[in-house]
């Protein structure tokens, strides 16, 4: 009798894993939108600046406008994901992308461009907050790292597509066409996101247990597995979302918040976005021609895509920390060598190619490590009762750090010169290696519930995982 009653609970659905992968790919298309916006601006700045006679500060704030919006989006993402759910927050992000991208392409002034970049940035901030959260809640435990890394992979593909289209339009200086390339997909993604399922965890938070069970059953191999996960979620959610209360009263929660902020500062101060926003300008300091600048930038974007596969394919096999160590060491070394080359002078083709090689090594090191894996760890270390606030604060920290770097790089470059600028970033990455050792846990194959239990019992941050 019992065996007959229980057997349907153990019927395996062979399509479940494919279904989860498909859903995660669709959700990760938000990363494609973010990547296209990050990449497109590197090609737009020069022709737009010439047409509107923009100063260095104005160009920095065309970059910075997006980052201001992204900070707003990240800091409001927690409330939206709690009220609307992860799915409709993603849809809202796509709407901001669509309106902002079309507005940028139609800009008639520097002010209009900056305002529309703020709108695009709000979409990016909401996306950077809600997508890793959604993916971590939908994915299976053993695939969580790969699925959250998928978001960063799609972001790198978006950057490459934008770099490639920039190169295509560079000779004519058609900056409006460059911007339209990102505007059209945003509309498509807006529609696609409407068909995503809600996160089972969010449905449980809202007390919609039957819907949560139906959704989880479609995402797992067997009903028994779905019941087990929902039971664990239900037990964990006995404590309601109370991030602000935890922030005031719980020192262990403040530790996880601090770690999330540290991880995002480490990611941005590695220097990746000075390459993404200003690659042609950096290549100009190495005496590359205008055409070579654009096509080399496209090559950099391709390397960014290919190396992200390392994180997607191996973070759940090798672990997060070994890949992060390799990435930060390679970034520190490549920035130091690039600084030396710019000091020595890239007067020959061989030295120019060596400088390009250092940029490629840097981008590859970031793409396989800090790019995707900081988002993975940030989505894993926050306790359920404060997860939305925790991820919101860490994402906001990312955007503020990005804003600081993006709005000062050109001025710093002009003030202290290329060699000293890149020595600075080499130092930041060397410090990153030390911080990885001291504070960052290995979360491979560790459930969110186990990480939370260890955090709240006062275990050292670096020991929260394995």
pLDDT of residue 240: 62
Question: Mean pLDDT across the stretch 151-174?
Answer: 84
pLDDT at 115 over 90: yes
Which of the two residues, 222 and 362, has the higher pLDDT score?
Answer: 362
- Residue 228 token pair: 């087990």
Question: Mean pLDDT across the stretch 276-298?
Answer: 82
pLDDT confidence tier of residue 93, bands split at 50, 70 and 90: very high
Domains and CATH numbers, the chain: 14-196+239-463 (1.20.1250.20)
pLDDT of residue 137: 87
Which of the two residues, 324 and 291, has the higher pLDDT score?
Answer: 324
What pTM did the predictor assign?
0.78
Question: Mean pLDDT across the stretch 426-443?
Answer: 96
pLDDT at 9 over 60: no
pLDDT of residue 5: 47
Which of the two residues, 392 and 32, has the higher pLDDT score?
Answer: 32
- Residue 67 token pair: 């980052």
pLDDT at 3 over 70: no
H-helix or E-strand spanning residue 408 = none
Q: What is the DSSP letter of 220?
A: S
pLDDT of residue 388: 77
Question: Mean pLDDT across the stretch 452-466?
Answer: 90
CA distance 132 to 448: 14
| φ/ψ bin of 208: left (φ > 0), alpha (ψ from -120 to 50), beta (otherwise) | beta
Question: Mean pLDDT across the stretch 281-306?
Answer: 84
Residues 226-284 have pLDDT tens digits of 888 888 888 777 766 677 888 888 999 999 999 999 999 999 999 998 888 888 888 88
Q: What is the DSSP letter of 444?
A: T
CA distance 71 to 124: 9
Mean model confidence pLDDT for the chain: 87
Which of 336, 337, 330, 275 lies closest to 300, judged by CA? 275
pLDDT at 4 over 50: no
pLDDT confidence tier of residue 14, bands split at 50, 70 and 90: low
pLDDT of residue 290: 76
CA distance 388 to 372: 19
Q: Is 356 helix (H, G, I), strand (E, B) or coil?
A: helix
- Residue 243 token pair: 């991030």
Residues 348-388 have pLDDT tens digits of 888 889 989 999 999 999 999 998 899 889 888 988 888 87
């Amino acid at each position: 009798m019992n065996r007959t009653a229980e057997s349907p609970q153990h019927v395996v659905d062979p399509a479940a894993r494919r279904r989860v992968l498909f859903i995660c790919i669709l959700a990760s298309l938000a990363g494609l939108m973010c990547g296209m916006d990050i990449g497109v601006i590197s090609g737009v700045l020069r022709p737009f600046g010439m047409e509107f006679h923009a100063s260095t500060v104005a160009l920095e704030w065309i970059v910075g406008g997006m980052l201001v919006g992204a900070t707003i989006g990240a800091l409001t993402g927690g409330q939206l994901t709690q009220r609307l759910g992860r799915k409709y927050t993603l849809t809202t992000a796509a709407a901001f992308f669509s309106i902002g991208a079309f507005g940028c392409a139609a800009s008639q002034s520097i002010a209009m461009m900056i305002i529309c970049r703020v709108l695009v940035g709000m979409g990016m901030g909401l996306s950077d907050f809600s997508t890793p959260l959604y993916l971590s809640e939908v994915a299976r435990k053993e695939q969580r790292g790969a699925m959250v890394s998928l978001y960063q992979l799609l972001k790198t593909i978006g950057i490459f597509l934008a770099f490639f289209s920039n190169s295509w339009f560079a000779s004519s200086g058609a900056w409006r066409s460059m911007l339209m390339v990102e505007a059209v997909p945003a509309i498509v993604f807006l529609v696609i996101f409407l068909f995503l399922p809600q996160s089972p965890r969010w449905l449980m938070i809202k007390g919609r247990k039957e819907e949560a069970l139906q959704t989880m059953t479609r995402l797992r191999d067997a009903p028994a597995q779905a019941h087990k996960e929902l039971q664990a979620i239900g037990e964990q959610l006995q404590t309601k979302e109370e991030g602000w209360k935890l922030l005031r009263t719980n020192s262990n929660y403040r530790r996880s918040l601090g770690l999330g902020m540290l991880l995002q500062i480490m990611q941005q101060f590695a220097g990746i976005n000075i390459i993404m926003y200003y690659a042609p300008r950096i290549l100009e300091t190495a005496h590359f021609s205008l055409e070579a600048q654009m096509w080399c930038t496209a090559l950099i974007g391709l390397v960014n895509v290919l190396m992200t596969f390392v994180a997607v394919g191996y973070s759940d096999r090798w672990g997060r920390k070994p890949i992060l160590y390799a990435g930060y060491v390679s970034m520190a070394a490549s920035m130091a060598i690039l600084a030396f080359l710019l000091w020595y002078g890239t007067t020959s083709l061989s030295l120019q190619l060596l400088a390009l090689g250092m940029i490629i090594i840097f981008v590859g090191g970031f793409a396989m490590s800090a790019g995707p894996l900081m988002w993975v760890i940030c989505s894993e270390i926050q306790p359920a009762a404060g997860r939305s606030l925790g991820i919101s604060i860490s994402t906001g920290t990312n955007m503020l750090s990005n804003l600081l770097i993006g709005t000062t790089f050109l001025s710093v470059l002009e003030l202290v010169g290329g060699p000293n600028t890149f020595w600075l970033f080499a130092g930041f990455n060397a410090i990153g290696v030390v911080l990885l050792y001291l504070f960052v846990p290995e979360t491979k194959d560790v459930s969110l519930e186990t990480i939370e239990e260890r955090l709240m019992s006062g275990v050292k941050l670096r020991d929260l995982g394995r």
